[in-house]
Structure 1
Amino acid sequence: MDLQSKTIKLRFIEDRDAEFVLTLRLDEKYNQFLSSVSPSIEAQREWIKKYKTDETSGTQYYFIIERNDGTPCGTVRLYDFKEDSFCWGSWILNEDKTRYAALESAFLVYKFAFEHLNMKKSHFEVRKGNERVISFHEKMGAINTGETELDLLFEITKEAVSHTKQRLLSKII
């Protein structure tokens, strides 16, 4: 499936991406709302090798977000598949991102899930205090469905994403 938009594309993670992923995950600018990871590149490579089994079996998908010139600028992961719904997270964009990389990468995630995996909606959590990401998802059409001690819980439908995409089409084509 072609997962490319105006300025970015998604590709499956490879073990050669371990150093890039680790750099993102250990950077205090990006990891405030993420779970911690081991600072070992070898441990990251091993995690990616184990993950590839999940990719093959369809239990999770981990992408590198790249600018169309091939410069990596982020990550995103799809997981926790339930009947017609999926969760996504591990979404990080660094300073090499393009102006609309967040919007474009979100639409590419939804394209993959809705068109390739035939999902109808997404369920996901955002850490409380992560106001920029909460606002982003609400503007996309996500509905708050509850909360835990740490997170706000959201759901967004294929129809809501389609409506938002039509509204913002000029920015992503």
Structure 2
Amino acid sequence: MKRTNGYRILFYLVNTLFWFNIFVAGIMGMLVIYLQFDDSILQNSSFNLSLGKGLFDIKLNESPNTKLVQIWVLALLISCFLSIAMLWNFKVLFKNAAKGIIFVSSNTKAIFVTGIIFLIGSFAAGVPKFFIAAKLAPLLNIKHGTITISYSIDGILFIAAVFILLLGAFFKKAVAIAQENELTI
């Protein structure tokens, strides 16, 4: 009985995080829509950054283009939607675990979907960084050296996705064995 109470607590925690994430995604969505129609807030800002005692300067107020912040906010919105989908699957897992139902097909589906979300996230994580770096490159003033902009996948997230998908495959086999055992009894 104590084990199901722990799962129930985890379910309530994930449920709270789920609804908080929906709230944040709603605010981010409204911010994306607002910035699409009125970006005067971004155009009036003056932000300069100097690193390395004059070796590296970024002067954002020289560029009237506000697409950089819009891309960043849109990337955050997409991240919110991926985390909402992931938290929904965690809700399914912990709700079933709180009921004492472990080896069912809905848990297998939730594990596979979580692995796919991690896989998508591993490839999509580098895209906003690449576009932001491409937008920032003309604003950089480097005294010595060159700039190289490249796209890369998030290796840790990719490896986690592969392991979660493998775990889902093993879990699918366990569900088939559990269903076969129920039929023989």
TM interval, short-chain normalised:
under 0.3
TM-score w.r.t. the length of structure 2 is: 0.24
Structure with greater strand share of residues: 1
Larger-gyration structure (1/2): 2
User: Which one has a larger percent helix, Structure 1 or Structure 2?
Assistant: 2
